């Protein structure tokens, strides 16, 4: 169902609710984004002045009702993306985002219902039938001024996820966070949050914010990096050689790289893993940086960083592919630009691309890393052209016929202890551009030489 048909369904529902003596309002992000001129495909409505049973009955006249939360008063309609809810109260019963007791209260009234929301810009309601906007907490003004401000001092700290939401809204909308909201966020405990909810907020910042660095800068400003992002916090104050990194410490460099990566995000084959790689690429520097003969070096930081990147990802998700991609990128992130600097030969390029799980994304990361070094107007286009030409060469070679295990078996080779070594030899030939027929001859000769060595130690 399209967004326009969902809006028509909302209007039909609003008329039916009004006939029962209630009112239906658009709420939350839908109202906020409409006022900002942004499209929001998630349409949330809230029904006031109508009981649970009556709303369920009304929904039945429009289609097949879906009860998404019996205790929470949340409904849907089959074939529609409308999120339909009754107003509710929440009572904190423990620690963390999930420890709430919820009470459905259709008579709570719009002002009190809006008061349970997190930020003023999310606390506006819009009458579905009249279009009237109810703004009890100054959301419109904060939207105009570009401010993220909490609604109520008393209830805001009950949900620690709001700290991360404040940071991601600031990054996505390029809004500042009100000083009083920063102060409240600074004193909140995030340790009881589920990693799924933390990852959800991080994804929004990484995939939609023009400058994802703002998400981390705001968490730093709130002193809220230490529990979920200690590896990022560890970058603060780690010095770099100013001749290569005039931008400052590793924190500053990483934030610049993250924002450069966001510009390249639409080109990445795997945007979220790509952005996470930009975040993690220098995690090894706090543990390898040293002064040698008066200069700052971080030898082998790309391999030292692997364990720390794995630690962060494991804290946030169990997604194996994401971890595998990021670790591969972290280990290889320096190679493309080093190949250029060292004027490396064809063989080194082919080997690097072959080691990469996503060579095109690796080149994007190398570009973001270079542009995040604060070198001013330094032109990267020459580097980019050479790397892209070499990558095209690699792709062309990979598309040509090559020696497989089946080819060796058909040639009379019995699978055994030499088989893996023979396939590795054939793969080197493939990278070198050796035609298949010639490579097969060489590989068979290689197998014979291995076996002769075994017979004559």
pLDDT of 96 above 60: no
> What's the pLDDT tens digit per position in 352-368?
999 999 999 999 999 99
List pLDDT tens digits, range 101-131: 667 888 899 999 999 999 999 999 999 999 9
Residue 254 in this model has a pLDDT that exceeds 90: yes
pLDDT of residue 242: 86
Q: CB atoms < 10 A from the CB of 382, how many?
A: 9
Q: Single out the residue of 116, 125, 111, 55 nearest to residue 88, CA to CA.
A: 116
pTM of the model: 0.91
Query: Which CATH superfamily is 1-145 part of?
Result: Beta Polymerase, domain 2 (3.30.460.10)
**To the nearest whole number, what is the mean pLDDT of the chain?**
93
Q: How distant, in Å, are the alpha carbons of 187, 195, 204, 219 from that of 191?
A: 12, 10, 20, 14
Q: Around 166, how many Cα atoms within 13 Å sit in the side-chain half-sphere?
A: 35
pLDDT at residue 90 greater than cutoff 90: no
pLDDT digits (tens, 9 = 90+) for 132-177: 999 999 999 999 999 999 999 999 999 999 999 999 999 999 999 9
Closest residue by Cα to residue 157 from 140, 141, 180, 173: 180
Rounded distance, CA 142 to CA 138, Å?
A: 6
% of the chain with per-residue pLDDT over 70: 95
In the sheet with 83-85, reading across from the earlier edge strand, the strands are 65-69, 74-77, 83-85, 44-48, 23-27, 125-127, 133-134
Predicted local confidence at residue 39, as pLDDT: 86
pLDDT given at position 456:
66
Which is it for strands 88-92 and 74-77: parallel, antiparallel or unpaired?
A: unpaired
Distances (CA, A) of 232 to 216, 242, 276, 433: 8, 21, 11, 42
Gyration radius (Cα) of the chain, Å: 29
Give the residue-averaged pLDDT of 11-27: 96
**pLDDT tens digit string along 299-323?**
999 999 999 999 999 999 999 999 9
CATH class of domain segment(s) 160-228: mainly alpha
pLDDT, tens digit, for every residue of 48-59? 999 999 999 999
CB atoms closer than 10 angstroms to residue 2: 9
What letter would DSSP give residue 219?
H
For the chain, the structural domain boundaries read: 1-145, 160-228, 235-253+260-399, 400-455
pLDDT tops 80 at residue 70: no
Mean pLDDT (whole number) for 376-380: 76
- Secondary structure class of 45 (helix, strand, coil): strand
């Amino acid at each position: 169902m399209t967004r326009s048909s969902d809006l028509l369904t909302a209007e039909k529902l609003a008329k039916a609710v009004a006939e029962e003596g209630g009112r239906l309002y658009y709420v939350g992000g839908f109202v906020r984004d409409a006022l900002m001129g942004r499209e929001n495909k998630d349409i949330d409505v809230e029904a006031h002045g109508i009981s649970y049973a009556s709303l369920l009955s009304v929904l039945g006249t429009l289609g097949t009702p879906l009860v998404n939360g019996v205790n929470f008063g949340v409904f849907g309609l089959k074939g529609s993306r409308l999120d339909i809810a009754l107003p509710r109260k929440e009572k904190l019963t423990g620690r963390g985002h999930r420890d709430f007791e919820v009470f459905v209260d259709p008579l709570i009234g719009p002002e009190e219902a809006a008061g349970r929301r997190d930020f003023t810009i999310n606390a506006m309601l819009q009458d579905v039938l009249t279009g009237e906007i109810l703004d009890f907490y100054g959301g419109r003004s904060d939207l105009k001024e570009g401010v993220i401000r909490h609604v109520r001092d008393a209830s805001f700290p009950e949900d620690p996820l709001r700290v991360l939401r404040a940071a991601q809204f600031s990054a996505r909308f390029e809004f500042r966070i009100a000083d009083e909201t920063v102060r409240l966020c600074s004193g909140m405990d995030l340790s009881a949050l589920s990693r799924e909810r933390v990852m959800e907020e991080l994804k929004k910042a990484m995939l939609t914010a023009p400058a994802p660095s703002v998400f981390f800068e705001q968490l730093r400003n709130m002193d809220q990096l230490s529990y979920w992002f200690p590896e990022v916090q560890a970058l603060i104050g780690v010095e770099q050689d100013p001749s290569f990194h005039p931008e400052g410490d590793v924190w500053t460099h990483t934030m610049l790289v993250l924002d450069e990566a966001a510009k390249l995000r639409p080109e990445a084959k795997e945007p979220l893993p790509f952005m996470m790689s930009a975040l993690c690429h220098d995690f090894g520097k706090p543990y390898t940086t040293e002064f040698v003969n008066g200069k700052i070096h971080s030898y082998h930081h790309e391999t030292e960083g692997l364990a720390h990147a794995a630690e962060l990802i494991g804290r946030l998700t169990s997604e194996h592919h994401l971890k595998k991609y990021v670790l591969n990128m972290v280990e290889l992130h320096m190679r493309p630009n080093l190949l250029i600097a060292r004027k490396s030969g064809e063989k080194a390029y082919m080997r690097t691309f072959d080691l990469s799980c996503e060579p095109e994304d690796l080149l994007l990361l190398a570009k973001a890393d270079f542009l995040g070094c604060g070198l001013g107007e330094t032109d990267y286009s020459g580097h980019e052209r050479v790397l892209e030409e070499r990558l095209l060469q690699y792709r062309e070679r990979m598309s040509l016929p090559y020696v497989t295990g089946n080819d060796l078996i058909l040639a009379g080779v019995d699978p055994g202890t030499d088989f893996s070594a023979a396939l590795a030899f054939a793969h080197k030939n493939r990278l070198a551009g050796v035609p298949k027929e010639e490579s097969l001859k060489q590989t068979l000769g290689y197998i014979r030489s291995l076996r002769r060595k075994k017979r004559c130690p």
